[in-house]
Amino acid sequence: MVTAYEDRADGTLELAPDGGGRFRSATLRPRVTISAGSAETARRLHDEAHRRCFVANSVNFPVRCEPEIVVAPA
């Protein structure tokens, strides 16, 4: 069971001379705390969810995901 979630995201922005711009890449660094279960299972599920993510699959730049899984003490 997930008991806490926070994300530290950052991206690389390319600015154009006319004042516009676009993202070149983004990296998500979620920290997910679980109260039960295996950190390895949680990581596999997270990887699968990211692979199927509608948003990450809809943008024209790479979105990397570097999850940290924390198992809360019993």
Q: What are 7's strand-pairing partners?
A: 30
DSSP 2-71: EEEEEE--EEEEEE-TTS-EEEEEEEE-EEEEESSS-HHHHHHHHHHHHHT-TTTTTSSS-EEE--EEEE
What domains are there in the chain, each with its CATH number?
A: 2-71 (3.30.300.20)
Q: Give residue 32's pLDDT.
A: 95
Over the chain (74 residues), the average pLDDT of each successive run of 10 is: 94 96 96 94 94 96 96 87
| Residue 4 one-letter amino acid | A
pLDDT score recorded for residue 74 = 75
pTM, entire model:
0.82
